[in-house]
């Protein structure tokens, strides 16, 4: 089995569940840190594990360009390449490609674009996105979609929705035909055993740094039947009826999980909420629901209570590098002069390894002096704050038993 | 007692000893990583502790300019400011100031210079250097010296030597008169107790990350008699007789430890070795000897076998940020294309947390993609390699018992 989703309990629409994937299990609702180029910027994998990160997101577009998906395939897939034994989700590359603006051209067949690195020409189709994502070998791959821009009028949103649905079908057909080619299944039995036990024979001393579920969770997933799972993506712009149509036609294709895309692309926050609220009830209750690219801490908590199971966003990591810390007392801009001699931790209510050890004065100094440790510590804190936010929501949702309908 | 130096054993000139300082003990010979701006670039203090770093170097010039020594004094000193409970050594600021070239002017009184950050005007005298270093509160402070440039003719080296000796005397007088002002002694009894037990009440769970000797080693150092120690610096250019004169006159001033300065400033490697060899026998056998600003791994091992107890250098950390790794097989330039699909660890003989977990292919990718994790992992490996180099030398030196003369 490649994916199992077990709902433990629910409180109104929100639900507390366990998502079991080939590389381990994930307690949901979950926030997934973004590891664009096979690294969560400025954080060693050991520290991600100590934060109890269970699933990371990788960006297909970036990894395709550098180091290249074929390189990663030859090196055993993304998990092994970046030495991350726990689950990974890759996006389809669509969002990044559409963000290129003048560098790309879209047809029904796919997208031509130029690399933001060296200007070289490339082409992504649904089939190619699947090939790249299978080479990367994340636990969850995403259908190739067109992320509808904001604002988009009804005609544009409909055309984009139709294209995304056609691409979802092509994605699924190609994925199903090729999913056995995932690098885990191309490895020799010896390699598989290495994968399952740790790459280089970690000793007991390493276990505190390299804990976790390196390798496949073979207990319930015999290798021969384990592969990636492909999620479909709902589009439809800011039109509830188009969202409904997108969701219904996508659900008819029977994906193991569904994402709501095309949000957090510049629209007002109320509208994001409205689109999520309009779409969630149309998705199968027993399957994971993923809202892409959100959000602020209060937003992800709110969406989780509404029934969203998975979210990702560059906000905590990117904001950290700009000196913006999320705390239980609100946002804190660490570069402000008022913190120059402030001996308090960034967030007095936070128990993360940054707040337990370092003062605002020190973090401000690191930022001002442009020291690399600034990005490291700020990112660690923001990720810890996001993960703790979701942990609290999970605790809250665990208070009620699961309704029969969702079991 | 502020400093104790106990020699356990020796092999020819080299010796294996324990240096006990107010913030903990250091096994020597030791390599001290450089933490210029109150951080070893790109490495969290937790990971420095996991590497078993026992003593760090801080740069007085940089900390004076930013965040300012008075800020650090008010925040309890450098240990508390950067949350580093183990020993620290600060340089005098002299080397950095002299490196400013046209931005500085030297007289017998001191050095006028302009900040490399904002062009503001400043003046460092021996007395001011002491005031700044006492405010920072490192376990070991350095006398303010003039680092003689290379090449320098005999007349220039003599003049520079005379100035350095006069400044050493002034440094010592001012230091002795003000050493009780170190921030540890300005703290209330409550603060002292916090310092000795950890700043924010670390829980047991933290101990694996925040191990070590936070606070003063009060067992044998009652707080009232604990202060910093001031080391003198031998100069004399590349003239053995001037080195001798510098050493003899400095030893007459009776410092608790001695540094050999003005080396690794562009001279050939043979000459560095010759100056160290000429100077070491002139320094008291029972006190620590520190060669400033060296060197490559084979150099630090060689100097340690000659009787050098302490060394520091930016080489392992700076080279790491440029993709140069030191390994048991020699230097490895991680950006080379040949490593693009190399699954081996950086150094197959190394047991550091980088070599146990990451491949050359991954490290090359991080460097090429300009990811912050590149500097983090490369620095961790290089520091681990330097520390392991010194650990092996200590093991080698421990094989022979200490000769009576050195006890």
Q: A34-53 pLDDT, tens per residue?
A: 999 999 999 999 999 999 99
Q: What is the pLDDT of residue A204?
A: 33
Whether residue A389 is predicted with pLDDT greater than 90 in this model: the reply is yes
ipTM value, please give it. 0.93
Chain A residues inside the 8 Å CB shell of B47: 44
**Among all residues of chain A, which has the CA nearest to that of B202?**
A356
B139, B145, B309, B312: which one is catalytic?
Answer: B312
Query: Which one of B356, B358, B359, B366 makes the best mutation probe of the A interface by having the most chain A beta carbons within 10 Å?
Result: B356
List of residues 6+ apart from A277 with CB closer than 8 A: A306
- Determine, for residues A43 and B373 on separate chains, whether the beta-carbon distance falls below 8 Å: yes
Chain A residues inside the 8 Å CB shell of B65: none
A168 with A235: CB under 8 angstroms? no
Strands B289-291 and B258-260: parallel
**Among all residues of chain B, which has the CA nearest to that of A78?**
B362
Query: Which one of A356, A359, A363 makes the best mutation probe of the B interface by having the most chain B beta carbons within 10 Å?
Result: A356
List of residues 6+ apart from B347 with CB closer than 8 A: B325, B327, B328, B329, B332, B355, B381, B385
Active site residue A309: no
Closest partner residue to A44 among B202, B369, B376, by Cβ? B376
What DSSP state is assigned to residue A332? E
Chain A residues inside the 8 Å CB shell of B375: 372
- Determine, for residues A45 and B343 on separate chains, whether the beta-carbon distance falls below 8 Å: no
Q: What is the pLDDT of residue A401?
A: 60
- Determine, for residues B200 and A42 on separate chains, whether the beta-carbon distance falls below 8 Å: no
A131, A145, A309, A312: which one is catalytic?
Answer: A312
**Cα–Cα distance for residue pair A127/A33, rounded to 1 Å:** 27
- Determine, for residues A353 and B74 on separate chains, whether the beta-carbon distance falls below 8 Å: no
Token duo for residue B328? 């048991």
**Cα–Cα distance for residue pair A258/A145, rounded to 1 Å:** 12
- Range with the lowest mean pLDDT among A102-106, A164-168, B314-318, B360-364? A102-106
Token duo for residue A391? 């942990």
Token duo for residue A47? 């520290």
B277 with B271: CB under 8 angstroms? no
- Determine, for residues A373 and B208 on separate chains, whether the beta-carbon distance falls below 8 Å: no
Chain A residues inside the 8 Å CB shell of B62: 369
**Cα–Cα distance for residue pair B55/B90, rounded to 1 Å:** 11
pLDDT-derived band of residue A185, with 50, 70 and 90 as boundaries?
Answer: confident
**Interface size, chain A vs chain B, as Cβ–Cβ contacts under 8 Å:** 134
- Determine, for residues B209 and A38 on separate chains, whether the beta-carbon distance falls below 8 Å: no
CB atoms within 10 A of CB A68: 15
Q: What is the pLDDT of residue B214?
A: 43
B62 with B113: CB under 8 angstroms? no
**Cα–Cα distance for residue pair B256/B250, rounded to 1 Å:** 11
User: What average pLDDT does this structure show over A165-178?
Assistant: 98
Query: Which one of A347, A353, A369, A377 makes the best mutation probe of the B interface by having the most chain B beta carbons within 10 Å?
Result: A369
**Cα–Cα distance for residue pair B1/A399, rounded to 1 Å:** 58
Residues paired with residue A28 on neighbouring β-strands, in sequence order = A17
Token duo for residue B344? 């081996």
**Cα–Cα distance for residue pair B391/A202, rounded to 1 Å:** 22
Of the candidates B127, B137, B231, B238, the residue with the CA atom closest to the CA atom of residue B182: B137
Active site residue B342: no
**Among all residues of chain A, which has the CA nearest to that of B380?**
A44
Closest partner residue to A200 among B75, B356, B372, by Cβ? B356
Of the candidates B50, B329, A214, B372, the residue with the CA atom closest to the CA atom of residue B344: B329
Of the candidates B33, B2, B34, the residue with the CA atom closest to the CA atom of residue B19: B2
- Determine, for residues B71 and A41 on separate chains, whether the beta-carbon distance falls below 8 Å: no
**Cα–Cα distance for residue pair A262/A275, rounded to 1 Å:** 10
Q: What is the pLDDT of residue B155?
A: 97
- Determine, for residues B372 and A206 on separate chains, whether the beta-carbon distance falls below 8 Å: no
Q: How far is CA A19 from the centre of its chain?
A: 14
Query: Is this prediction's pTM over 0.90?
Result: yes
**Among all residues of chain A, which has the CA nearest to that of B360?**
A81
A305 with A11: CB under 8 angstroms? yes
- Determine, for residues B71 and A373 on separate chains, whether the beta-carbon distance falls below 8 Å: no
R_g of chain B, CA atoms, integer Å: 21
Whether residue A77 is predicted with pLDDT greater than 70 in this model: the reply is yes
Chain A residues inside the 8 Å CB shell of B373: 39, 41-44
Kindly list the averaged pLDDT for each block of 10 residues, start to end, along chain B of length 407.
Answer: 94 95 98 98 98 98 97 98 98 88 90 93 97 98 95 96 98 98 70 43 35 43 76 98 98 98 96 98 98 98 98 98 98 98 98 98 98 98 98 92 51
A52, A91, A162, A213: which one is catalytic?
Answer: A91
Q: What is the mean pLDDT of chain A?
A: 91
Percent of chain A at pLDDT > 90 equals 84
- Determine, for residues B41 and A372 on separate chains, whether the beta-carbon distance falls below 8 Å: yes
Percent of chain A at pLDDT > 70 equals 88
Query: CA A201, A206, A209, A213 torsion: positive or negative?
Result: positive
Q: What is the pLDDT of residue A200?
A: 40
Whether residue A355 is predicted with pLDDT greater than 90 in this model: the reply is yes
CA distance, residue B248 to nearest chain A CA (Å)? 40
Whether residue A347 is predicted with pLDDT greater than 60 in this model: the reply is yes
For residue A202, the number of C-alpha atoms closer than 13 Å in the C-beta half-sphere is 25
CA distance, residue A387 to nearest chain B CA (Å)? 19
Per-residue burial over A221-245, b = 16 or more CB atoms within 10 Å of its CB, e = otherwise? bebeebbbbbbbbbbbbbbeebbbb
Q: What is the pLDDT of residue B186?
A: 53
**Among all residues of chain A, which has the CA nearest to that of B35?**
A371
CB atoms within 10 A of CB A328: 12
Residue A67 phi/psi, 5-degree rounding, is: -85, 0
User: What average pLDDT does this structure show over A155-159?
Assistant: 97
CA distance, residue B145 to nearest chain A CA (Å)? 26
Q: What is the pLDDT of residue A73?
A: 98
């Amino acid at each position: 089995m490649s994916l199992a989703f077990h709902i433990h309990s629910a409180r109104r629409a929100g639900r507390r569940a366990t998502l079991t994937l080939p590389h381990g299990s994930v307690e949901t609702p979950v926030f997934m840190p973004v590891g664009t180029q096979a690294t969560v910027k400025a954080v060693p994998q050991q520290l991600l594990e100590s934060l109890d990160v269970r699933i990371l997101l990788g960006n297909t577009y970036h990894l395709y360009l550098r180091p290249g998906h074929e390189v990663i395939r030859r090196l055993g897939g993304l998990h092994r390449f970046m030495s991350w034994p726990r689950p990974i989700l890759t996006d389809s590359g669509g969002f990044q490609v559409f963000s290129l603006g003048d560098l790309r051209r879209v047809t029904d067949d796919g997208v031509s674009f130029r690399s933001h690195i060296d200007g070289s020409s490339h082409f992504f189709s649904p089939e190619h996105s699947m090939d790249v994502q299978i080479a990367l070998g994340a636990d969850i791959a995403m259908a190739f979609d067109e992320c509808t821009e904001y604002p988009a009028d009804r005609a544009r949103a409909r055309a984009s929705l139709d294209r995304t649905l056609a691409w979802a079908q092509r994605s699924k057909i190609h994925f199903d035909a090729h999913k056995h080619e995932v690098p885990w299944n191309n490895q020799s039995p010896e390699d598989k055993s290495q994968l399952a036990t740790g790459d280089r024979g970690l000793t007991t001393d390493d276990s505190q740094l390299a804990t976790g579920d390196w390798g496949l969770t073979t207990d319930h997933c015999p290798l021969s039947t384990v592969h990636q799972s492909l999620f479909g993506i709902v589009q439809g712009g800011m039109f509830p009826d188009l969202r409904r149509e997108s969701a219904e036609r996508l659900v008819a294709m029977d994906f193991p999980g569904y994402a709501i895309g095309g949000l957090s692309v510049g629209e007002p926050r109320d509208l994001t909420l409205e689109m999520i609220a309009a779409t969630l009830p149309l998705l199968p209750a027993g399957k994971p629901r993923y809202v892409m690219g959100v959000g602020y801490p209060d937003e992800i908590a709110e969406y989780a209570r509404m029934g969203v199971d998975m979210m990702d966003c560059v906000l905590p990591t990117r904001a950290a590098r700009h000196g913006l810390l999320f705390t239980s007392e609100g946002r804190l801009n660490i570069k402000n002069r008022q913190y120059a001699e402030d001996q308090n931790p960034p967030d007095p209510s936070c128990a993360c390894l940054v707040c337990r050890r370092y003062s605002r004065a020190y973090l401000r100094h690191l930022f001002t002096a442009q020291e690399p440790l600034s990005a490291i510590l700020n990112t660690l804190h923001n990720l810890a704050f996001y993960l703790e936010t979701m942990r609290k929501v999970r605790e809250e949702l665990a208070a009620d038993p699961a309704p029969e309908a969702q079991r």
